[in-house]
Chain A
C-alpha cells in the first residue's frame, strides 16, 4: 500500500514522540554537515529522521566502491556526487526536510557564505588537517556558532571508548581522540556509526538548550 504523507502528518508523528516544544525547535533549525563520508552520511540520516528543518550538506567527492563498507550509500549510487546521493536517500526517509547541497571545498574565503544560517556546524571530514582547519575556520570567521567535531574512531577498539567531550561552551568533540586511520587500522561501519551517533545526539542536545554532554 502506498500513500503520500503530508508534511503536517510527519511533523505530528514526530511531535507526538519527541514532544511539541522540542520538535518545534528541531524543525526550525538548520544544521550543517561538513563532509559526507562515514561520519557525515550517518549523521545526516540521523538528523533527518529527527526532523531537522534544513540540512546544509557539503562534500566535493563522489560515491566510490571503497565507501560502501561504512558510508550510507548504495551500490547503485557509485559515481554520483555524495551530496546528490545522500539527498536522494534522505528524501526517502524525510521527504519534507530541506537540503542545501554544496560540492565546494570549504576555504577561508567561502566558509561564512557556505555555513551561513547554520545553528550548529558538524565537522565530519576524514583528514586531520581538514578537521582542524574547519574547526579553526569557524572560530575565526563565524565566532559563537556551536561546532560538533569528531576525532578518533578507527579500528575495532571498544565501543565504550567513544565519548562526547565539551571542550568549550561552543566546541564539542566526539570520538576516542586517539584511534587514527593507518595502514594497520581501518574504519569499521559500526564504530564510525557510533561516533556519528554521538555527534547527532550532541546536536540534539544543543538544539534542546542542554549542555552537549
Chain B
C-alpha cells in the first residue's frame, strides 16, 4: 500500500505522474513530498511508487 496524505491506496508499481493524472490535484499548484524528500517535477514520470511509500501532496493556495 502507498500512503498519500494519510490515506492508503493500492498504487504500488504505478508512476507518480499516472497517479496525479487521475487524481483531483491541480498539477500546477502542488509540490510532492515522498519519504521525506520533495520529488522534482521532472522525475514524476519515472518515479515508481512502492509498497510502504509515504507521500504528501502539498497544495498551494493564492495570497501573499
> When chains A and B are docked, how far (Å) is the Cα of A38 from the Cα of B36?
30
| Contact across chains for A124 and B64 when beta carbons are under 8 A apart | yes
User: Given A129-B29, A136-B31, are A168 and B38 also a contact pair (CB < 8 Å)?
Assistant: yes
**Interface bits B53-64 vs A (CB < 8 Å: 1, else 0):** 000101111111
| Contact across chains for B63 and A179 when beta carbons are under 8 A apart | yes
> When chains A and B are docked, how far (Å) is the Cα of A47 from the Cα of B38?
26
Q: Which residue of B lies closest to A43 (CB)?
A: B64
| Contact across chains for B56 and A180 when beta carbons are under 8 A apart | no
Our pick among A140, A167, A192 for the contact of B64 (Cβ within 8 Å) is: A192
Count of B interface residues, CB-CB < 8 Å: 20
Specify which of A129, A136, A149 lies most central, judged by the most chain B CB atoms within 10 Å of its CB: A136
> When chains A and B are docked, how far (Å) is the Cα of A132 from the Cα of B59?
8
> When chains A and B are docked, how far (Å) is the Cα of A37 from the Cα of B62?
12
* B37 → A minimal CB distance (Å): 6
Interface residues of B (CB under 8 A from A): 28-31, 33, 36-42, 56, 58-64
A-B residue pairs in contact (CB < 8 Å), sample of 30? A38-B63, A39-B64, A40-B64, A126-B62, A126-B63, A128-B28, A128-B60, A128-B61, A131-B64, A132-B28, A132-B29, A132-B30, A135-B31, A136-B41, A139-B31, A139-B38, A140-B41, A140-B42, A151-B60, A151-B63, A153-B64, A154-B61, A154-B63, A167-B56, A168-B36, A168-B38, A173-B58, A180-B61, A181-B61, A187-B63
